[in-house]
A and B are shown apart, each in its own frame.
Chain A
Amino acid sequence: MISLSEKFFICDDVVFRKVGGEIVIMHLTNGNYFGLNQVGSRVWELLGAKSPKSLREICSDIAAEFDAPGEQIESDVIALAQDLISNGLIKNEQSARDE
Chain B
Amino acid sequence: MSDNSAHSHNEFGFSLAVRPSANQLAFGNAPYDEWISPWGEVIARFHRTRGGFLVRFPDRADFIIDVATRVVACTPASKGSPEDAATLYENCIVPLISNHQSGLHVHGSAVEINGCANIFVGPSRRGKTTLAAALAARQHALLSEDAVDLRRLADGTYMVATSRPVVRLFPDSAGMLLGELPENQGSDGKICLGRVDGISFADTAVPLGKIFLLGPGTSPEVQISPLGPAQSLAELMQHAFVLDVEDRERLRAHFCRMATLASSVDSYLLDYPRDFGILPEVVQAIVSHCPPER
Chain A residues with a Cβ under 8 A of chain B: 13, 15, 17, 19-20, 22-24, 26, 28, 31, 33, 35
Contact = CB atoms under 8 A, between A and B. Distances in A.
Interface residues of B, number: 17
B228 interface: yes
Interface of B: 228-234, 237, 245, 248, 251-252, 255-256, 259, 262-263
Contacts of A23: 230
A35 B231 contact: yes
B229 A20 contact: yes
A8 B228 CA distance: 29
Given A31-B245, A33-B237, A19 B251 contact: no
Nearest to A35: B230
Given A15-B255, A28-B251, 13 more contacts: A15-B251, A15-B256, A20-B229, A20-B230, A20-B263, A22-B228, A24-B230, A24-B234, A24-B259, A26-B251, A28-B248, A28-B252, A35-B234
29 contacts: A15-B252, A15-B256, A17-B233, A17-B255, A17-B256, A19-B229, A19-B230, A19-B233, A19-B262, A19-B263, A20-B229, A20-B230, A20-B262, A22-B228, A22-B230, A23-B230, A24-B230, A24-B233, A24-B234, A24-B259, A26-B237, A26-B255, A28-B248, A28-B251, A28-B252, A31-B245, A33-B237, A35-B230, A35-B231
B234 A33 contact: yes
Top 10 A-B residue pairs of the complex, sorted by shortest distance between their CB atoms = A20-B229, A17-B259, A19-B229, A22-B230, A33-B234, A15-B252, A19-B263, A24-B233, A24-B230, A15-B255
